[in-house]
């Protein structure tokens, strides 16, 4: 194959976990051009993957929802003359679009709904206990390709690093000055460490470890970060809602380490080779733990109900996250 399309997964952490797929495709098809079809929210992350040549943004739940936009996408893909497409997640609508585009080889997991649009179906059995990286790699391995590297790797541009340096300098962190990042968010409440613990951790990092702290987060974390900063009493640098994913990645690259619950930013930092301290509770590191080349320390306490991944979103106690103490984090630094 010389021209390859990949239908991406939709969430930040999963996109990071999928990056070894692109390297494996380049290894198996030297000189190939790889294009990724993805939702808008993950475009910035895909732009950091050195094995991807182009990203086509497709907002099926938004501006691209009308039928005319699906026809337009099929026409665009037809002009791309792709030799094959790999589906990292089942998607009937995208499957039929790629079939309409005339892509001859369409590879994806075997599902009833995919009959017809996926003409090279691979087994989806035995995936339940695999790490997400290995699940995505299994699509191409079960198709017959060889995988030699299972690490997640992302690269930040020099321009982004220069922008991060200016951003940090404007907030009192000079070039080459040591700092760490504390990422306080998470995509669902059950995975979030209590904000009071983050506040105490921030204070102890500054007062006991003598290191500056950057509190990161998305726009939806602004109020949470402000509360943590105020309670800490040590005036950390607040970047929630200030950075894009690309610029946040550049800030992570300049840091000594990042402390975070199981979240997209945690896996982004790991893929950049940054040391990560990961706080796990309801999810399992065997399935969604850091898989970058940076050192990763995972903190998880066995409370009985979290020996398998737990998705009880209405849990009234959240004992699994609360069982990890600030002192547990401090001890491994």
pLDDT digits (tens, 9 = 90+) for 241-291: 898 888 999 999 999 999 999 999 999 999 999 999 999 999 999 999 999
In a domain, 45, yes or no: yes
Query: What CA dihedral angle connects 320, 325, 331 and 332, to 10 degrees?
Result: 30
Same domain, 177 and 297: yes
In a domain, 20, yes or no: yes
pLDDT over 90 at 111, yes or no: no
Domain limits at 300?
A: 158-331
Tokens of 327: 């002192």
- The answer to whether the beta carbons of residues 194 and 322 sit under 8 Å apart is yes
For the chain, give the number of residues.
333
Same domain, 298 and 179: yes
122 contacts: CB under 8 Å, gap ≥ 6: 107, 108, 109, 110, 138, 139, 142, 143
pLDDT over 80 at 188, yes or no: no
The percentage of the chain sitting over the pLDDT mark of 70, rounded to a whole number, equals 100
What is the strand order of the sheet 212-216 is part of? 237-238, 212-216, 179-183, 257-261, 275-279, 296-299
In a domain, 150, yes or no: no
Higher pLDDT pick, 189 / 15: 15
In a domain, 146, yes or no: no
Same domain, 95 and 181: no
Give the per-residue pLDDT at 224: 93
In a domain, 210, yes or no: yes
Sign of the dihedral defined by the CA atoms of residues 209, 210, 211, 216, in that order: positive
In a domain, 261, yes or no: yes
Q: What is the DSSP letter of 263?
A: S
Higher pLDDT pick, 24 / 176: 24
166: left (phi over 0), alpha (psi -120 to 50) or beta: alpha
Half-sphere exposure in the Cβ direction for 308 (13 Å, CA): 4
Residue 268 maps to which CATH number? Answer: 3.40.50.2000
Half-sphere exposure in the Cβ direction for 21 (13 Å, CA): 33
Same domain, 276 and 315: yes
Give the Å distances, CA to CA, from 280 to 193, 285, 324: 9, 7, 8
Give the Å distances, CA to CA, from 74 to 58, 59, 70, 107, 125: 11, 14, 6, 17, 30
pLDDT over 90 at 112, yes or no: no
Tokens of 302: 């066995």
Over residues 102-123, the mean pLDDT reads 90
Tokens of 278: 């990961």
pLDDT digits (tens, 9 = 90+) for 145-182: 999 999 999 999 999 999 999 999 999 999 889 999 99
Give the per-residue pLDDT at 158: 94
pLDDT digits (tens, 9 = 90+) for 190-229: 888 999 999 999 999 999 999 999 999 888 899 999 999 9
In a domain, 13, yes or no: yes
Same domain, 93 and 187: no
Containing 186, the helix (H) or strand (E) segment is none
Same domain, 127 and 207: no
Give the per-residue pLDDT at 45: 94
Give the per-residue pLDDT at 312: 84
Strand extents, DSSP E, the chain: 3-7, 33-38, 54-57, 84-87, 105-109, 120-122, 179-183, 212-216, 237-238, 257-261, 275-279, 296-299
Same domain, 292 and 169: yes
Give the per-residue pLDDT at 113: 75
Closest Cα to residue 8, out of 44, 31, 27, 29?
Answer: 44
Same domain, 111 and 166: no
- The answer to whether the beta carbons of residues 16 and 267 sit under 8 Å apart is yes
Same domain, 188 and 259: yes
Closest Cα to residue 151, out of 49, 64, 243, 61?
Answer: 49
CA 259/CA 190 separation, integer angstroms = 17
Give the per-residue pLDDT at 134: 98
pLDDT digits (tens, 9 = 90+) for 48-103: 999 999 999 999 888 888 999 999 999 999 999 999 999 999 898 999 999 999 99
Question: Residue 143: pLDDT band by 50, 70, 90 thresholds?
Answer: very high
Give the per-residue pLDDT at 65: 87
- Burial pattern 231-269, b for ≥16 Cβ within 10 A else e, equals ebeeebbbbbebbebbbbbbbbbbbebbbbbbbbbbbbb
Same domain, 163 and 264: yes
Q: How many domains does the chain have?
A: 2
In a domain, 96, yes or no: yes
Same domain, 248 and 317: yes
Average pLDDT, the chain: 94
């Amino acid at each position: 194959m010389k021209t390859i399309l990949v239908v991406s997964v939709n969430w930040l952490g999963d996109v990071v976990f999928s990056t070894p797929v692109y390297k494996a495709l380049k290894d198996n098809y030297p000189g190939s051009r790889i294009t990724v079809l993805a939702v808008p929210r993950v475009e910035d992350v895909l732009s950091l993957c050195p094995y991807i040549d182009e990203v086509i943004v497709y907002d099926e739940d938004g501006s691209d929802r009308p039928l005319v936009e699906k026809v337009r996408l099929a026409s665009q893909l037809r002009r791309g003359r792709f030799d094959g497409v790999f589906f990292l997640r089942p998607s009937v609508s995208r499957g039929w679009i790629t079939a309409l585009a005339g892509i001859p080889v369409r590879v994806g997991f075997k599902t009833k709904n995919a009959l017809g649009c996926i003409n090279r179906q691979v087994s989806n059995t035995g995936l339940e206990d695999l790490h997400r990286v290995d699940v995505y790699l299994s699509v191409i391995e079960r198709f017959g390709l060889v995988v030699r590297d299972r690490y997640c790797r992302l690269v930040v541009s020099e321009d982004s690093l220069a922008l991060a340096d200016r951003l940090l300098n404007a907030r009192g962190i000079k070039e080459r000055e040591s700092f760490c990042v504390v990422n306080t968010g998470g995509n669902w409440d059950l995975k979030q460490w209590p904000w009071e613990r983050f506040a105490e951790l921030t204070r102890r990092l500054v007062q006991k470890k003598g290191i500056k702290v950057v509190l990161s987060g998305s726009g939806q974390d602004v109020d949470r970060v402000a509360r943590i900063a105020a309670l800490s009493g040590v005036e950390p640098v607040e970047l929630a809602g200030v950075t894009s994913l690309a610029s946040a990645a550049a800030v992570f690259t300049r840091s000594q380490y990042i402390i975070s619950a199981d979240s997209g930013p945690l896996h982004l930092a790991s893929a950049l080779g940054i040391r990560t301290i990961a706080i796990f509770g309801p999810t399992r590191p065997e399935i969604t733990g850091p898989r970058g080349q940076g050192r990763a320390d995972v903190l998880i306490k066995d409370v009985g109900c979290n020996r398998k991944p737990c998705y009880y979103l209405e849990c009234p106690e959240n004992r699994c996250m609360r069982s990890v103490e600030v002192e547990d984090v401090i001890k491994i630094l």
